[in-house]
Structure 1
Amino acid sequence: MKKEESLRDCLENLKNSDLYPFHMPGHKRNPGAGEMARYMDIDITEIDDYDNLHDADGIILRAEERANALYGADETHFLVNGSSSGVLAAISAVAGRGEKIIAGRNAHKSFYHAVYLRELDVTYILPDPEGLVNPKGIEDAFDKNPGIKAVFITSPTYEGMVSDVKKIAEITHKNGAILVVDEAHGAHFGLYKKLPESSVTEGADIVIHSLHKTLAAMTQTALIHVKGDRVDREKLRRFLRIYQTSSPSYVLMASIDSCIKDINDNGKEVLERLIRFRKRIEAETADLTWIRIPHFSKRQDPGKVLICSADGAITGQRIYDILRLEYKLQPEMAGDTYALAIITGYDTEDGISRLIEAVKELNTRIENEQSNCLGSARNKKDKKENIEQSSGPVELPKTVIPFYKAWDADMEEVDITRAAGRVAGDFINLYPPGIPLVVPGEAIDKELVRKIGEYINDGRNVQGVKISAKGERTVKVVAPM
């Protein structure tokens, strides 16, 4: 095999060879093996000459090195269990059982799973209303909690807001700790001059990227990068073996390698197209009065288009529903006052045109609805979009029992109206993106109960609340000792 061959090329060569597979998988690359057979002709396992993800020294290693070179890391590994496996491995590698860690509260649920498995002592930092983690909050947490081993932040957020990773890295390293950045939504960062910088070059020690979220790769594909010498790389590799499947999909790995090749070959064109799409959306909706699309900046991902309600004239869930049901445009998620649409350089001109026209028509509809409402004569300059994130707590709930103990405790289900004053037995969060309103072991108060009711009534997806056919709402709480 030639070194310059991509992983996909190698798999195609095998498909076209006369080497018969007396090995797994069971479909044997047979075109008659079921309805999905046409996707199986390059699906293999770890056979001779085709390397092993968990001990790569051949074609997979070379593919990982191509990804590493693109992002400027010191070591890069393919992830076929998504960014979640990368977060689990990273946290497990940088913090020993029972040790202390600082984390932004807006962390993905995979972080909380790592906390549970490693029984970690977490100091949470509440992000600001836009989801940014304040470096001062990190600094204060170090001052108040000696012995912190690592810091975990999410940047960009689901809505595309980018924290000051460079400053946070400086503070973290000054205190002898390791910085892990969940940059799952920023796999395109640093690859084009008009995009935010990648955390790989901003000082982070470990960075996790979900290629499938913003680039041309299959769902479940991701990367984990290591930069510098603070991370025990052998320990990280060990946890990658623990948290990833022992039968990694060659189709997914080929998708990762093909994605890297496409960016190397066409990245400038693809990412310029993303910027052009974003500018077009902003320009053609700039004069709208009831729907606003905020301008992106160097601190925001241009691929995250927030379709915001001015003055709360319409809920984010209604924006979401109208776009999906009436215009056949599927947004990513809904917030309190906005719907989020994700665009990439792989969108089409027609798709962008449909979104623009739908937003314009939605603005006209709201204008007509508001025409008979009190206060509709206010000058449009008084209207402003609300882009505050709405998927996390305003204040941190009080921790009563350590999370890992509460999740293992005996539980009971109670009506949510009787949950105030009890200790949460399970997560309650909004999904997407899955940021906890309350973590197991934390106290549920009346304000949280009220807020959860609001979210459900607005049609939001609140995980951790069971709703019966009769409309009864119950949550899990820790049973009395």
Structure 2
Amino acid sequence: MASDAAHRRAPLFESLRSFVERDQAPFYSPGHKGGRTLDPWFREHIAAVDLNNLADLDTLHCPSGPILEAEALIADAWGATASFILVQGSTGGNIAVALSALRPEDPVLVQRNAHKSVLAGLVQSGARPIWLAPQWDAEFGVAHGLSVDQVDAALAAEPAVALWILHPTYFGTTADITALADVCRRRGVRLLADGAHSPHFAFHPELPTAAETAGAAATVQSVHKILSGLSQAAVLHVDTDQLDVPTVRRSLQLIQTTSPHFAIMASIDLARRQMITEGRELLDVTLRRARRTAARLAEIPGLRVFGDEDLTGPGSGSHQRDATKLLIGTAGLGADAGEILAQLTRIHGVQPELAGSGHILCITTIGNTDTDMDRLVDGFADIAQRVGLRDTEVAADAGIDVLGLAPEPVLTPREAFFAATATVALQSASDRIAAEPITPYPPGIPLVMPGERLSAEVLDALRALRAADNPISAADPTLERVTVVR
């Protein structure tokens, strides 16, 4: 039993308060950046609007009043034929897409750097994924999208009912979605888009093509990541010629809470209003600010910033980019990206979204200011001077070809998830079937998926990653033991 003194503390609240009270420049989600872009009345009364399903307020699961009206306005704003409010982030949306568009044993092409919520959707639907490796960028150590030729060849080799893509990637790059949609139409398959980082695409012509108007049957977007939504605020857009509203509503009823937070829902409504009334102007400023900052960062010795010149053209997996995302290559500096991020935060009060192998990602939104940008540039300039240049610039990838491996699929993710399992030592796992995803960071792409065989080649790669102290997401991050199908 904890002591009375321990119970007088509130450790989570205390850590939140400490974080908020630090003076910092925010380059992470959510897009409102600490409430800067929220409606003032809404920001002041967030606790007061923490309400439940009252008669005056409508019900999310079967809306007939203001929620239904808000969803109609969302569809109109984004150019979709139907849209749905989500209160459990894009994770809930991706699971709903799987339950609406896929059936057990349906073959579906899936981009292998998909978010883990896509895997959750595959487990719940029972669909059979055909994993496609995304285009790899060794210069920055990130994965992009799928090429048109790759998808067309995969559909020619093995029929599928859908193609599920990431649009854009975490880092803001997109494949040629117009061409991919054409391939899907020609092959008679649905295009499904995890567009978590794309809610702003529809509101500015200098941003990448929006999936919801390019032919996708379903597009999921996190309003909170880039726009003025509270965390977990998201939307699902569907093309009703490909997916009908009752089917989607039925799926959402299975997975969404019956006690939705009205502040989250209202923040989506307000973000839509903000984009329609002033989104073009706000994004004009955001894009100019981001491009100016990218140019300043690129002038600092040892840094590279991903730009248009790094795209690989129509039909490729790196066709367009979101210029509001700053992907900053740090391989030329004499410190690793994690240490650089720590110094930015500790010394300069600058908080990026993440650090990978040889890169740092900063998410800029309508909530950032010129002062934020100056602090970011000044912080990088100071750190670059402190750590100096690396004698020999190294590629940003980890040196282990994770994407080059193609583990044999034996079971569907659903079969592997519900199978009897055992935990065995890594050296005893040869030829066993994985019951969990094992994901090295970088690149953040599962080396093995649930239902795939742990071959000698896969185990060699896992041992090499462990020996290199590469961070691993798995039930046992040390990889001393792995979870397999019994």
Tell me the residue number matched to 1:145.
158
Q: Retained in 1: the 8 A contact 2:165–2:193? A: yes
Q: Retained in 2: the 8 A contact 1:311–1:385? A: no
- Deviation track 1:400-448 (CA, whole Å, cap 9, x = no partner) reads 3333222222323234455454322211124699642211121234554
Tell me the residue number matched to 1:161.
173
- Distance (Å, rounded) in 2 between the aligned partners of 1:353 and 1:38: 32
SS of the counterpart of 2:211? coil
> Could you tell me the TM-score, scaled by structure 1's length?
0.82
Where do 5+ consecutive residues of structure 2 fail to align?
1-37, 137-142, 312-318
Tell me the residue number matched to 1:271.
283
- Distance (Å, rounded) in 1 between the aligned partners of 2:444 and 2:420: 24
- Measured after TM superposition, the shift of residue 477 of structure 1 is 2.2
Match of 1:213 among 225, 232, 243: 225
1:333 equivalent in alignment to 2:340: no
Tell me the residue number matched to 2:75.
68
State the superposition RMSD in angstroms. Answer: 3.0
- Measured after TM superposition, the shift of residue 128 of structure 1 is 0.8
Query: In terms of mean alpha carbon deviation, does 212-221 or 49-58 score higher?
Result: 49-58
SS of the counterpart of 2:340? helix
- Distance (Å, rounded) in 2 between the aligned partners of 1:302 and 1:458: 33
- Distance (Å, rounded) in 1 between the aligned partners of 2:458 and 2:347: 33
- Deviation track 1:15-37 (CA, whole Å, cap 9, x = no partner) reads xxxxxxxxxxxxxxxxxxxxxx9
- Deviation track 1:262-299 (CA, whole Å, cap 9, x = no partner) reads 11222123211221221121221232331211224771
Tell me the residue number matched to 2:99.
92
Tell me the residue number matched to 2:246.
234
Q: 1:103 to 1:388 in 2, by over 3 A?
A: farther
Q: 1:240 to 1:342 in 2, by over 3 A?
A: same
Q: Retained in 1: the 8 A contact 2:466–2:479? A: no
Match of 1:135 among 113, 124, 148: 148
- Deviation track 1:313-348 (CA, whole Å, cap 9, x = no partner) reads 543333333333343322222222212111112112
- Measured after TM superposition, the shift of residue 452 of structure 1 is 4.6
Alignment of 1:25-424 (within 5 A): 39-129=46-136, 130-146=143-159, 148-296=160-308, 299-310=320-331, 314-367=335-388, 370=390, 373=391, 386=396, 393-424=403-434
AA in 2 matched with 1:144: A
Q: Retained in 2: the 8 A contact 1:412–1:478? A: yes
SS of the counterpart of 1:225? strand
- Measured after TM superposition, the shift of residue 388 of structure 1 is 10
Q: Retained in 1: the 8 A contact 2:199–2:227? A: yes
Tell me the residue number matched to 2:35.
none
AA in 2 matched with 1:134: S
- Deviation track 1:71-100 (CA, whole Å, cap 9, x = no partner) reads 111111100111111111112111122212
Q: Retained in 1: the 8 A contact 2:88–2:256? A: yes
AA in 1 matched with 2:454: I
- Measured after TM superposition, the shift of residue 235 of structure 1 is 0.9
Where do 5+ consecutive residues of structure 1 fail to align?
1-7, 13-36, 376-382
Q: 1:450 to 1:215 in 2, by over 3 A?
A: farther
- Deviation track 1:386-405 (CA, whole Å, cap 9, x = no partner) reads 59999963332122333322
- Distance (Å, rounded) in 2 between the aligned partners of 1:50 and 1:237: 19
- Distance (Å, rounded) in 1 between the aligned partners of 2:78 and 2:340: 36
Q: Retained in 2: the 8 A contact 1:159–1:306? A: yes
- Measured after TM superposition, the shift of residue 350 of structure 1 is 1.8
Q: 1:57 to 1:465 in 2, by over 3 A?
A: closer
SS of the counterpart of 2:197? helix
Q: Retained in 2: the 8 A contact 1:308–1:387? A: no
Q: 1:362 to 1:465 in 2, by over 3 A?
A: farther
AA in 1 matched with 2:354: M
> Could you tell me the TM-score, scaled by structure 2's length?
0.81
Tell me the residue number matched to 1:28.
none
Q: Retained in 1: the 8 A contact 2:433–2:452? A: yes
Q: 1:327 to 1:466 in 2, by over 3 A?
A: farther
Larger radius of gyration between Structure 1 and Structure 2: 1
- Tell me which of the two structures has the higher relative contact order, counting C-alpha pairs closer than 8 angstroms and 6 or more residues apart: 2
Q: 1:317 to 1:447 in 2, by over 3 A?
A: farther
Match of 2:439 among 429, 434, 438: 429
- Measured after TM superposition, the shift of residue 384 of structure 1 is 8.9
AA in 2 matched with 1:364: Q
Q: Retained in 2: the 8 A contact 1:306–1:387? A: no
AA in 1 matched with 2:432: R
AA in 2 matched with 1:139: D
Q: Retained in 2: the 8 A contact 1:214–1:344? A: yes
- Distance (Å, rounded) in 1 between the aligned partners of 2:233 and 2:281: 22
- Distance (Å, rounded) in 1 between the aligned partners of 2:345 and 2:433: 37
Equivalent pairs counted in the alignment come to: 432
